[in-house]
């Protein structure tokens, strides 16, 4: 069984510390993954404080947020403009590519995308994507050929603007099969590889899931008959919970489960159907996310 492994990198701290940790771990087990980088300003502190309302407060306590993200992330971009991640940490991004991992665009400004995507017009969306692609192209020496929006926040305008870039695929939603998105009845050509599994922060502390049974829970969700795509975060599995993630990788290998870049799944998926994408709320996550309409 193959499981697509997607590493989302949201912050300066995640890039600086989480990415090298994950690269080292994956090298040890000869695993390749898809890394989606945020390359513009790190204003994620603003994002976390903006969400500071009761449900989020409980989630912060539930996941021990300062442990999970670190105080520096909680404050990034709140007191002074956030640092440009790609500019400051280009060596880490290049080393990830050189190690043979698939590199895609996550965001120019992760915070701004999550906060303002509902109000962004096509030009603002193009501009944000273009800044990210330009920065990654300068870093890598070639353009990134895949992308994944921050926080699974996509819409029809985003899908249309993405089609102006040479992305082989995008991973912008949750769902259960690789598909071509339908926008106003028109089938777009860039396939979507949806994430099928929940993230750590969505399930931890709910329904009896703790750090000691989290990996077993995740493994129980894998389905040999279906598409399996997991997202980990450089900030979470790459720093505070790296040992737990290593245990997950080891268990996968012992059970003949191969962790692979998303592009490998695309190559092996032959009957790509079309689906619309809608906004939905899911347990454990604040606000709406984009979901594939069940095929």
Q: What are the φ/ψ torsions at residue 49 (nearest 5 degrees)?
A: -75, -35
Binding mask 145-164 for Zn ion (x = CB under 5 A): -----x--------------
User: What's the Cα-to-Cα distance from 160 to each of 20, 165, 191, rounded to whole Å?
Assistant: 34, 10, 12
Q: Is residue 92 packed enough to be buried (19+ CB in 10 Å), middle (13-18) or exposed (0-12)?
A: buried
- Pick the closer one to Zn ion by CB: 150 or 191: 150
- Pick the closer one to Zn ion by CB: 42 or 161: 42
Piece of 7-15, 237-245, 246-254, 256-264 that binds Zn ion (CB under 5 A): 7-15
Give the up-direction half-sphere exposure of residue 195: CA atoms within 13 A in the CB hemisphere. 24
Whether the Cβ atoms of residue 37 and residue 9 lie closer than 8 Å to each other: yes
Does residue number 201 form part of the binding site for Zn ion (CB under 5 A)?
no
Piece of 8-16, 55-63, 128-136, 152-160 that binds Zn ion (CB under 5 A): 8-16
The residues, ordered by sequence, that sit 6+ positions from 31 with a Cβ below 8 Å of its Cβ are 5, 249, 259
Which 223-242 residues touch Zn ion, going by CB under 5 A?
none
Residue of the chain from 3, 8, 171, 201 that contacts Zn ion (CB under 5 A): 8
SS3 12: helix
CB of 251 to Zn ion, least distance (A): 25
CB of 110 to Zn ion, least distance (A): 6
- Pick the closer one to Zn ion by CB: 8 or 172: 8
Does residue number 10 form part of the binding site for Zn ion (CB under 5 A)?
yes
CB of 188 to Zn ion, least distance (A): 22
Q: What is the DSSP letter of 188?
A: P
Q: What are 111's two structure tokens?
A: 């915070």
CB of 39 to Zn ion, least distance (A): 12
The residues, ordered by sequence, that sit 6+ positions from 231 with a Cβ below 8 Å of its Cβ are 6, 7, 8, 195, 197, 199
Q: What are 38's two structure tokens?
A: 């945020």
CB of 107 to Zn ion, least distance (A): 7
Binding mask 94-133 for Zn ion (x = CB under 5 A): ----------------------------------------
- Pick the closer one to Zn ion by CB: 171 or 275: 171
Q: End-to-end CA distance of the chain, in Å?
A: 22
Query: Which residues of this chain interact with Zn ion, rule CB under 5 A?
Result: 8, 10, 150
């Amino acid at each position: 069984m193959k499981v697509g492994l997607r590493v989302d990198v949201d912050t300066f701290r995640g890039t600086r510390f989480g990415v090298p940790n994950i690269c080292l771990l994956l090298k040890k087990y000869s695993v390749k993954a898809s890394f989606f980088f945020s390359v513009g300003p790190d204003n994620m502190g603003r994002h976390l404080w903006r969400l500071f309302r009761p449900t989020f407060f409980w989630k912060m306590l539930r996941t021990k947020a300062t442990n999970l993200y670190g105080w520096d992330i909680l404050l990034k971009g709140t007191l002074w403009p956030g640092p440009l991640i790609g500019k400051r940490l280009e060596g880490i991004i290049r080393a990830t590519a050189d190690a043979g991992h698939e590199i895609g665009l996550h965001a120019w400004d992760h915070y701004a995308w999550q906060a303002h995507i509902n109000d962004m017009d096509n030009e603002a969306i193009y501009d944000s994507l273009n800044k990210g692609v330009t920065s990654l192209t300068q870093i890598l020496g070639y353009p990134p050929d895949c992308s994944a929006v921050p926080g699974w926040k996509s819409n029809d305008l985003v899908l249309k603007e993405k089609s102006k870039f040479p992305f082989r695929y995008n991973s912008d939603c949750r769902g259960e099969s690789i598909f071509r998105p339908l926008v106003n009845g028109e089938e777009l050509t860039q396939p979507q590889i949806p994430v099928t599994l929940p993230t750590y922060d969505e399930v931890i502390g709910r329904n009896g899931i703790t750090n000691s049974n989290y990996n077993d829970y995740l493994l129980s969700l894998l389905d040999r008959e279906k598409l399996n795509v997991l997202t980990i975060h450089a900030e979470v599995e790459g720093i505070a919970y790296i040992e737990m993630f290593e245990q997950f990788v080891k268990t996968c290998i012992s059970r003949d489960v191969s962790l692979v870049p998303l592009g490998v799944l695309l190559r092996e998926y032959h009957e790509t159907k079309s689906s619309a994408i809608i906004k939905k709320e899911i347990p454990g996550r604040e606000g709406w996310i984009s979901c594939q309409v069940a095929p």
